[in-house]
């Protein structure tokens, strides 16, 4: 296995395709819409990855049929749009890979499901997930990063190790996991918590408040992951704690920035307009996560306050609501 097709030419999909292409893999990147793909193929530069050009070996296409022959497919589409886009694309081909790896983060608003749950019946193949603390521009510039590849049990250990070797590079370290549930939930929930971290930053509430938020946020993440069948060690690993630390503290984080804008007094609409075309996945995930929590009897106080914040609650009232909750044991 040496051929990879990446479907989705956002910053993350393009960064991953570039990493794998530079590492000697045969990589095809499907870009949509067609105008974007043509521009990307001609200029060899991505507007959100300005610090370099695409490797010459990376093939950019605008017709998904040109990517279907690859050994392995990687879905880098926006979470909420992924099921619909895949259903539409697969009408044009009978080909299927042995498995699909997705690299998107979030919970579906319509079903409250994880992306692997939605994509598996559409493709009729096993679906894994690649996630972890990694900003697209840093990966694109070949700065060191480590992520986790979670694969379902029907992918054998030997196949898993082959995939690990395929996707890893000297600057992009890949760890293996069997906890698809936990990795997907961690990748979704950390975005919600990052919005809260941005709020604290805007209100100048200090490092102690941020440390408390992140610690209690991990506790929320652990409760939901455990209740839905994930593993506690995943929460304390790259997909959980690692990605949360990056997204809640890194200045490149879209979710953190969105929380800052709300904390500075912007309305939801104003903050969304300020973000331009960047997807703030935590906004979409928050209500879905809370719905999952309510269905399973899990308490997510931080997530609940993020939703109230997005619905227009005064930022300082949101903080007070968390601080004045009934006292309890840790």
Q: Give me the active site residues, please.
A: 190
The pTM of the full predicted model, rounded to 2 decimals, is: 0.96
Name the token pair of 260.
């800052």
Give the domain-ending residue among 160, 178, 196: 178
Residue 287: pLDDT above 80? yes
Domain contains 219: yes
Q: What is the pLDDT of residues 115-153, one digit of tens each?
A: 999 999 999 999 999 999 999 999 999 999 999 999 999
Whether 20 and 167 share a structural domain: yes
Residue 11: pLDDT above 80? yes
Give the domain-ending residue among 161, 178, 195: 178
Range of the domain at 120: 3-178
Domain contains 328: no
Say which CATH number the domain at 9 has: 3.40.50.720
Whether 172 and 227 share a structural domain: no
| Burial label, 244 (beta-carbon count in 10 A; 0-12, 13-18, 19+) | buried
C-alpha dihedral (188, 189, 193, 198), degrees to nearest 10: 0
Span 252-256, mean pLDDT? Answer: 95
Whether 171 and 186 share a structural domain: no
Domain contains 32: yes
Helix, coil or strand: residue 177: strand
Whether 138 and 258 share a structural domain: no
Q: What is the pLDDT of residues 214-228, one digit of tens each?
A: 999 999 999 999 999
Q: Rounded CA gap, 245 and 211, in Å? A: 10
Helix, coil or strand: residue 320: helix
Residue 1: pLDDT band by 50, 70, 90 thresholds?
low
């Amino acid at each position: 296995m040496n051929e990879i097709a990446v479907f989705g030419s956002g910053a993350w999909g393009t960064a991953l395709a570039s990493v794998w292409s530079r590492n000697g893999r045969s990589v095809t990147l499907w870009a949509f819409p067609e105008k974007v793909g043509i521009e990307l193929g001609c200029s060899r530069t991505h507007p959100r990855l300005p610090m370099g050009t695409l490797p010459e070996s990376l093939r950019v296409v605008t017709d998904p049929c040109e990517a279907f022959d690859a050994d392995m497919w990687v879905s880098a589409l926006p979470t909420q749009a992924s099921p619909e886009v895949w259903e539409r694309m697969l009408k044009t081909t009978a080909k299927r890979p042995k498995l699909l790896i997705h690299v998107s983060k979030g919970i579906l608003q319509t079903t409250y499901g994880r992306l692997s749950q939605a994509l598996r019946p559409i493709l009729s193949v096993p679906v894994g997930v690649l996630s972890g603390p990694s900003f697209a521009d840093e990966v694109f510039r070949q700065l060191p990063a480590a992520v986790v590849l979670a694969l379902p049990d029907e992918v054998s250990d030997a196949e898993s190790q082959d995939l690990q070797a395929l996707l890893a590079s000297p600057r992009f370290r890949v760890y293996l996991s069997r906890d698809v549930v936990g990795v997907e939930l961690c990748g979704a929930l950390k975005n919600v918590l990052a919005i809260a971290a941005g709020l604290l930053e805007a209100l100048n509430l200090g490092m102690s408040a941020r440390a408390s938020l992140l610690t209690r946020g991990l506790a929320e993440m652990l409760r939901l992951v455990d209740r839905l069948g994930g593993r506690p060690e995943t929460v304390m690993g790259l997909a959980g704690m690692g990605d949360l630390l990056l997204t809640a503290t890194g200045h490149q984080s879209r979710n953190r920035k969105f929380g800052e804008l709300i904390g500075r007094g912007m309305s939801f609409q104003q903050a969304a307009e300020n973000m331009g075309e960047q997807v703030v996945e935590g906004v979409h995930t928050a209500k879905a996560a809370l719905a999952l929590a309510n269905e399973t009897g899990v308490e997510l106080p931080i997530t609940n306050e993020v939703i109230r914040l997005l619905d227009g609650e005064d930022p300082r009232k949101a903080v007070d609501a968390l601080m004045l909750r009934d006292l309890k044991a840790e």
